[in-house]
Amino acid sequence: MKAFVVEKYGKDGVRAAEVPEPTVGDRDVLVKVSAASINPLDKMVRNGEFKQLLKYKAPFVLGHDVAGVVTRVGSAVRGIEVGDEVYARPRDLRVGGFAEFIAIDVDDVAPKPASLTLQEAAAVPLVALAAWQILVDRARVKPGQKVLIHAGAGGLGSTVIQLAKHLGATVATTTDTKTEELVRSLGADVVVDYTKEDFSTVLSGYDLVLDSLGGANLEKSLTVLKPGGLAISVVGPPDAGFAKQLGAPSFLGLVMNTLSRKIRRQAKALGVRYQFFFMQANGSQLRKLGALYDSGKLRPVIDSTFPFDRTLEAMAHVEQGRTKAGKVVVSMVPDNG
What is the CA 107 to chain-centroid distance, rounded?
A: 18
Of 183, 173, 166, nearest to 298 by C-alpha is 166
> Does residue 204 sit in helix, strand or coil?
coil
Number of domains in the chain: 2
The pTM for the full model equals 0.96
At 32, which CATH number? 3.90.180.10
Give domain status of residue 296, yes or no. Answer: no
Give domain status of residue 179, yes or no. Answer: yes
Q: Is 254 found in the same domain as 153?
A: yes
At 154, which CATH number? 3.40.50.720
Q: Is 133 found in the same domain as 88?
A: no
Q: Percent of the chain at pLDDT above 70?
A: 99
Q: Is 242 found in the same domain as 325?
A: no
| Side chain identity, residue 7 | E
Per the prediction, the chain carries an average pLDDT of 96
Give domain status of residue 281, yes or no. Answer: no
Give domain status of residue 56, yes or no. Answer: yes
Tell me the residue range of the domain where 11 lies: 2-124+301-331
Mean pLDDT of 105-123: 98
Q: Is 37 found in the same domain as 10?
A: yes
Give domain status of residue 201, yes or no. Answer: yes
Q: Is 105 found in the same domain as 132?
A: no
Give domain status of residue 198, yes or no. Answer: yes
Q: What is the pLDDT of residues 208-219, one digit of tens each?
A: 999 999 999 999
Q: What whole-number distance in Å separates Cα of residue 97 and Cα of residue 112?
A: 15
Q: Is 320 found in the same domain as 210?
A: no
Q: What is the pLDDT of residues 37-91, one digit of tens each?
A: 999 999 999 999 988 889 999 999 999 999 999 999 999 999 999 999 999 999 9
Q: 218, exposed or middle or buried, with CB in 10 Å at 0-12, 13-18, 19+?
A: buried
The string of DSSP letters for 128-152 reads HHHHHIIIIIIS---TT-EEEESST
Q: Is 118 found in the same domain as 139?
A: no
Q: CA end-to-end span of the chain, whole Å?
A: 21
pLDDT of residue 336: 39
Is the confidence at residue 275, as pLDDT, over 70? yes
pLDDT of residue 337: 39
Q: Is 141 found in the same domain as 194?
A: yes
Q: Is 219 found in the same domain as 80?
A: no
Of 80, 36, 34, 28, nearest to 62 by C-alpha is 36
Under a CB-based contact definition with an 8 Å cutoff, are residues 330 and 150 in contact? Answer: no
Is the confidence at residue 335, as pLDDT, over 90? no
Q: What is the pLDDT of residues 158-192, one digit of tens each?
A: 999 999 999 999 999 999 999 999 999 999 999 99
Give the chain's length.
337
Give domain status of residue 294, yes or no. Answer: no
Confidence of residue 333 (pLDDT cuts 50, 70, 90): confident
Q: Is 253 found in the same domain as 147?
A: yes
Give domain status of residue 191, yes or no. Answer: yes
Q: Is 71 found in the same domain as 36?
A: yes
Q: Is 232 found in the same domain as 93?
A: no
